[in-house]
Structure 1
Amino acid sequence: KQVVTLSLLDFFPPAKKALIGFVMKRVKKVIPSIKTPHITMVAALAKGKKAAQGIDIASYSSHVQPTDTAIYQYTSGTTGRSKGAELSHQGILANSFQARLMTQSVMGGNGETTLIALPLYHITAFALIFLAGISDGGHGILAPSPRPPSNLKAAFEKYTITWFTGINTLFAAMTVEPWFDKKLFENLRFCGSGGAAQQTGVAVRWNELTGISINQGYGMTECCGVITLNPVADNRLGTVGIPVPGMDLRIVDDNGVDVPLGTPGEVIFKGPTIMKGYLGRPDATAESIKDGWLYSGDIGVIDEDGFVEIVDRKKDMILVSGFNVSPNEIEDAISMLPGVVQVGVIGVADEKSGEVPVAFVVTKDPALSADVVIEHCRKSLTKYKIPKKVVFVDDVPVTLSGKVLRRQLRDEYLA
């Protein structure tokens, strides 16, 4: 096994590479020293090219089977240390095909022009955007970084973007950009959302400003990408849609027994895209995969039409006087308030109730007050779900896939 490092610096001319490298490593110190034995991507490619001379390239993959390991894709690590999911060729290609089956009704005949704003090391961008786009003969426009959102303006102005997949925080940030104009999005045929809960308020605002709805999906690194997706013809805000073709999904209690429709329980699933296991973590693999079913750690509900709603992560639930409260539900309610750009909710210790919700809000409206937020919550939430406190902040920490970093939120503002 060989560690291969990849840096954009490797592809710059020598003078620029030396200058930028010095600034990034010595001045800004954003590139750490790597103590692990490794080889650069450029050196690895050169080594491979030399070794391939006189060899039949086709024979290189002739022995590869569909179930063989293709990549080790690392999880986001929001609830613990990041783990390497061992994904097969079959799983990655099957997941790409599953997504295509769910969206083919809005695909153009000459391939899509997709704006890739998510990092390619994230499973959604890699399998569902990059690989799926290549297989359909699409044109990918790579945005090195969507932060700030103004970085995306040039792409929408220069190219006819027809396909765009983002995350809740990106959609929210774009809608308040001064350059945001409906004309830039008039060629869009599909907008997808994943990685984190798509707040209804943000989705409604996006639709009002662009005329395009956001189809939310649900997936995990451990299944090569997507598990459920809202059908194009029946997009239901607040849900993550229905299982993609070939994917079996159940909602179970703590004993692994199916719960009645409409009853919250853990989401488990099975299909051709399930990972082979976690790299070097047989204990974690055995805990996650039981009898072929992968236990997600997410709490969900299925309605009578088969649409799935993700309530929250098991570990993120807030226990208020014995009642389980979902931070996502509170965040979704607050997101409906005009002026709210971003919101994160955590539980804090309380002598009377055990825990109480506290909301951290980013707003563009200086007139928005904590009393207004709480009064709004009273209209849409049960009493024990109403935040005990509202704190206005400049930023809510999230992962690159848009998930609220609740541990960091607690450390930064409640330390």
Structure 2
Amino acid sequence: MSLLLNTISKHDANVIALRDATSTLTWGELVLRLNSIVEWWNKEDNIMNSKNIYIFLENDVDSILCLLSALIMGKNVALIDPNISAAKWEEIFSETDFQLILGSAQVIQCLGLEDYALTVQQIVTNRETAVQSFNRYFNDEGSVFFLTSGSTGKHKLVQRKVSSLLSEGKSYGETLNLTEHDAYLAALPLHHAFACGCALFGSIFNGGTLVLSSLFFPRAILKWIYEYKITVLPLIPSLVKLMTASYTKPLKVEHLRYALIGTGQISTSLAELFYSLYGVRLSGNYGSSETGGIAMRLPEVHPYLNLVGQAMSGVDIIIEDDNGLAVPYNIEGNVTVRTSSLFCGYVGENQDVQLPAKHERWSTGDIGHLTEDGMLYISGRKSNLLQRNGKKINPVVIENALLCMPNIAEAVVIGLDKKETYDDLITAVIVPKVPVLNEAQIRGYCLQQLEAYMTPEKVVFVSQIPRTVTGKVDRVSLIESLTCGKETI
């Protein structure tokens, strides 16, 4: 039997598995619906012959039914943002070999795919409900492809097998002591790896209820938290800001156990504001599309600068030097991990990367250190290191110093091409709190706080820092804008 189906079938048939604004399915009903959809797919030769599938994945029950059915049948499923631009979609489609496209009627029409795609509604509706177990046993393990640009700025598809995603769900369950009594609110798009691993496969492995929300409106989200007794809420920094900006008086959220921040850290002041409003301490989650969740900073751990937490259950974290040798505690090095949640391949930009064999370590590309009590601190990306006069410079060190300056709201340090030398033109991009700051003040402050060789050669003032959809600083876009001579962004 399919590994995924076997996991789903083990849960209490009477417990609610999936819920959105219009539909509710128990685990028992979910098994029957998946059975009927798979039996229909088996009769459709054009679908059965399509091993690779695109799904414009929306946060609703019908889309999840399509995804799970395809994975049970051993399909490779690429999860695509339903709000993707036509230009980006054409770029992805031209570089990959996926034969079948699934999505809502609205998305398919907007992208002009009526002649090439099936709607989700065509697949999940008007199917006879099966009352017996699956007539076929699917031994091929399906996989999910996550679209990510990572730190390169160029898209690639990261392949994670079902066993990898279930392993990640197990890791969340053991780390957070999750049970079938927990309820997850998926307000983040499930086509992102963090939300998919934490919310979707966390609920699938541990047997809780997944509540699906297609939009993030703080007041509606709060209503659902109360109504459905949500215990696990995955978030990203921009949504934390939205939730804290929507209320001024404290609210009592009794059932919420974990508010998990993925894809980036937030300031201590914002974390304290969230706690004062909702009475829940934010937890930090560190991971990647390739590895799933790696480390967790639980609510009782103080959010010190650069602290991402302890290794999640089933994850080994090793800090290595450039020769691949483990370094002692409190010494910085390359952050590597060993986990059964690891990816198995790329499509697109990184197809030629040497992939990790089973049980091997994978380098995350981050620089950090471990303390004696197992706490992991991340100080930056190896690929973001700057160079001046033969010395390597971690831009995060400069950024942290700048953020201690009272009149700076945000600071990002990048390296621009000097052309005439191999050194980087170290550039500080500043969002000021007041308009009276100037370059001389910034450089003077850095000379007092840092070594002279770390002082930025150039300072650019902007109204906002460009970020990706998940809230990370878009360094590639920032460098491209400044290279093109744009002094305002």
Q: Is the 8 Å Cα contact of residues 198 and 234 (structure 2) preserved in structure 1?
A: no
Partner of 1:92: 165
Equivalents in 2 of 1:93, 1:391: separation in Å?
Answer: 45
Local SS of the residue matching 1:241:
strand
Partner of 1:19: none
Partner of 2:175: 102
Asked which structure has the greater RCO (Cα within 8 Å, sep 6+), the reply is 1
Local SS of the residue matching 2:146:
strand
Shift in CA distance, 363/257, structure 1 to aligned 2, threshold 3 Å:
same
Shift in CA distance, 268/211, structure 1 to aligned 2, threshold 3 Å:
same
Equivalents in 2 of 1:265, 1:86: separation in Å?
Answer: 27
| Cα displacement string for residues 109-148 of structure 1 (whole angstroms, at most 9, x for unaligned residues) | 943363x44321111111102332464533535253x5xx
Name which of 103, 112, 116 aligns with 1:41. Answer: 103
Name which of 383, 387, 395 aligns with 1:319. Answer: 387
Q: What is the identity, as a one-letter code, of the residue corresponding to 1:64?
A: N
Shift in CA distance, 282/381, structure 1 to aligned 2, threshold 3 Å:
closer
Local SS of the residue matching 1:398:
coil
Shift in CA distance, 152/266, structure 1 to aligned 2, threshold 3 Å:
same
Q: Is the 8 Å Cα contact of residues 57 and 190 (structure 2) preserved in structure 1?
A: no
Partner of 1:276: 344
Q: What is the identity, as a one-letter code, of the residue corresponding to 1:70?
A: S
Equivalents in 2 of 1:283, 1:96: separation in Å?
Answer: 27
Question: What is the alpha-carbon root mean square deviation over aligned residues?
Answer: 4.0
Partner of 1:142: 213
- Alignment map for 1:167-182 (pairs within 5 Å): 167-172=236-241, 175=244, 177=245, 179-182=246-249
Local SS of the residue matching 2:169:
helix
Equivalents in 1 of 2:259, 2:239: separation in Å?
Answer: 12
Q: What is the identity, as a one-letter code, of the residue corresponding to 2:201?
A: L
Q: When the two structures are superposed, what TM-score results if normalisation uses the length of structure 1?
A: 0.75
Q: What is the identity, as a one-letter code, of the residue corresponding to 2:176?
A: T
Equivalents in 2 of 1:113, 1:128: separation in Å?
Answer: 9
| Cα displacement string for residues 277-323 of structure 1 (whole angstroms, at most 9, x for unaligned residues) | 22488963425559722122222211222111112221111123333
Equivalents in 2 of 1:143, 1:365: separation in Å?
Answer: 37
Identity rate, percent: 25
Equivalents in 2 of 1:47, 1:158: separation in Å?
Answer: 28
Q: Is the 8 Å Cα contact of residues 113 and 163 (structure 1) preserved in structure 2?
A: yes
Q: When the two structures are superposed, what TM-score results if normalisation uses the length of structure 2?
A: 0.65
- The question of 1:405 aligning with 2:481 is answered no
Name which of 64, 67, 76 aligns with 2:149. Answer: 76
Name which of 222, 234, 240 aligns with 2:290. Answer: 222
Q: Is the 8 Å Cα contact of residues 281 and 299 (structure 2) preserved in structure 1?
A: no
- The question of 1:396 aligning with 2:465 is answered yes
Local SS of the residue matching 2:168:
helix
In structure 1, stretches of 5+ residues that fail to align are 12-28
- Alignment map for 1:177-192 (pairs within 5 Å): 177=245, 179-184=246-251, 186-187=253-254, 188-192=256-260
- The question of 1:130 aligning with 2:200 is answered yes
- The question of 1:58 aligning with 2:102 is answered no
- Alignment map for 1:152-301 (pairs within 5 Å): 152-156=218-222, 159-160=225-226, 162-172=231-241, 175=244, 177=245, 179-184=246-251, 186-187=253-254, 188-200=256-268, 202-203=270-271, 206-207=274-275, 212-223=280-291, 225-237=292-304, 238-279=306-347, 284-286=352-354, 292-301=360-369
Partner of 2:72: none
Report the alpha carbon displacement of residue 156 of structure 1 after superposing the two structures with TM. Answer: 2.6
Shift in CA distance, 38/341, structure 1 to aligned 2, threshold 3 Å:
farther
Shift in CA distance, 353/212, structure 1 to aligned 2, threshold 3 Å:
farther
Equivalents in 2 of 1:136, 1:363: separation in Å?
Answer: 47
Equivalents in 2 of 1:121, 1:308: separation in Å?
Answer: 27
Q: What is the identity, as a one-letter code, of the residue corresponding to 2:465?
A: V
Report the alpha carbon displacement of residue 241 of structure 1 after superposing the two structures with TM. Answer: 0.8
Report the alpha carbon displacement of residue 220 of structure 1 after superposing the two structures with TM. Answer: 1.3
Equivalents in 1 of 2:416, 2:461: separation in Å?
Answer: 16
Q: What is the identity, as a one-letter code, of the residue corresponding to 1:361?
A: I
Shift in CA distance, 328/248, structure 1 to aligned 2, threshold 3 Å:
same
Report the alpha carbon displacement of residue 234 of structure 1 after superposing the two structures with TM. Answer: 2.9
Shift in CA distance, 136/258, structure 1 to aligned 2, threshold 3 Å:
same
Shift in CA distance, 292/108, structure 1 to aligned 2, threshold 3 Å:
closer
Equivalents in 2 of 1:217, 1:82: separation in Å?
Answer: 23
Shift in CA distance, 47/212, structure 1 to aligned 2, threshold 3 Å:
closer
Shift in CA distance, 267/41, structure 1 to aligned 2, threshold 3 Å:
same
| Cα displacement string for residues 164-195 of structure 1 (whole angstroms, at most 9, x for unaligned residues) | 332334435655x3x33252465454222221
| Cα displacement string for residues 344-378 of structure 1 (whole angstroms, at most 9, x for unaligned residues) | 32123567993353222335555666566666656
Shift in CA distance, 303/378, structure 1 to aligned 2, threshold 3 Å:
farther
Equivalents in 2 of 1:120, 1:395: separation in Å?
Answer: 27
Equivalents in 1 of 2:403, 2:233: separation in Å?
Answer: 22
Report the alpha carbon displacement of residue 55 of structure 1 after superposing the two structures with TM. Answer: 10
In structure 2, stretches of 5+ residues that fail to align are 1-50, 62-83, 105-117, 485-489
Equivalents in 2 of 1:383, 1:204: separation in Å?
Answer: 35
- The question of 1:111 aligning with 2:182 is answered yes
Report the alpha carbon displacement of residue 229 of structure 1 after superposing the two structures with TM. Answer: 1.0
Name which of 334, 342, 354 aligns with 2:423. Answer: 354
Local SS of the residue matching 1:229:
strand
Report the alpha carbon displacement of residue 86 of structure 1 after superposing the two structures with TM. Answer: 2.2
Equivalents in 2 of 1:41, 1:285: separation in Å?
Answer: 31
Q: Is the 8 Å Cα contact of residues 197 and 403 (structure 1) preserved in structure 2?
A: no
